[in-house]
Structure 1
Amino acid sequence: MFALTSATLLLAVLGWTFWFLVSAPPTVPIRMRLDDDPAPGSPWRIVIIPLAMTLVYGVLGHAERVGVVNSPSPEGYTPEEARRIAAGLRLLCMGLFVVIPLAMVAGGHWSWGEAGRNMLICMAFSVSGLLSVRVLPRRR
């Protein structure tokens, strides 16, 4: 179930980013630092965060499967502890994956309500797409 949820979120954020790029005018106000006011610039700046978060998400997913976490702990971790740590970090990454892009664009081109509504629409489409793939009969 966690894999379905994480894949849904990944597809939703990437779809939302694509939707933002398609619907945005040539110059949009985007926050690059979340404590600054939005500054006008290219809408392609929003692509940096989902790509970086996808890389981090993939690395944490691999660490969870393998059961190895690179950390400065001198005693090391058992594979079960490493899987639990990687799963927690992956969950944190999923939360940041949604919050940071929304915070970058909210208050500029889109209001918070519009940005959140568009993200929920993308999540609904990705959930329906993944569930429709899951219910398809499998060939044996």
Structure 2
Amino acid sequence: MSERHEFHIACRAGADALNKHRPGTSAAAKLTVLAGRLIEAPKAPKRESPNASKGEWPTMREELTRKALQAVQVANAARDAGRMTDRDLWFVIDALFDVTHGLIAEDMSALLYRARQELKEHAPK
């Protein structure tokens, strides 16, 4: 399974989790859109791309974004398996947002923020 496909699955799982707590939220809709973008075939890089001469290595921002998404996927899977509560999931998303804000892609940071707010409203006290 490719990395893009894994991210697609993580985004879909995040959207499903948010829809369980609060159907029709904008964060869930954005996760669904992001999942659709990830499943599309990647575009070939242009030759004048700054990364082309580096053998297409990801930038630090891209790598941090990937790792943040991976952490969300792992936490959501743990919650779905019953090893983590909704409150624990909120702690993970909250910590990820606090640590990565300003370091990862802006749209992903905004997505983490919205997910954090949605989970905060619905997590048991």
> RCO higher in 1 or 2 (8 Å CA, sep ≥ 6)?
1
With normalisation by structure 2, the TM-score equals: 0.36
> Which of these two proteins has the greater Rg computed from alpha carbons?
1
Question: What TM-score do the two structures reach when normalised by structure 1?
Answer: 0.33
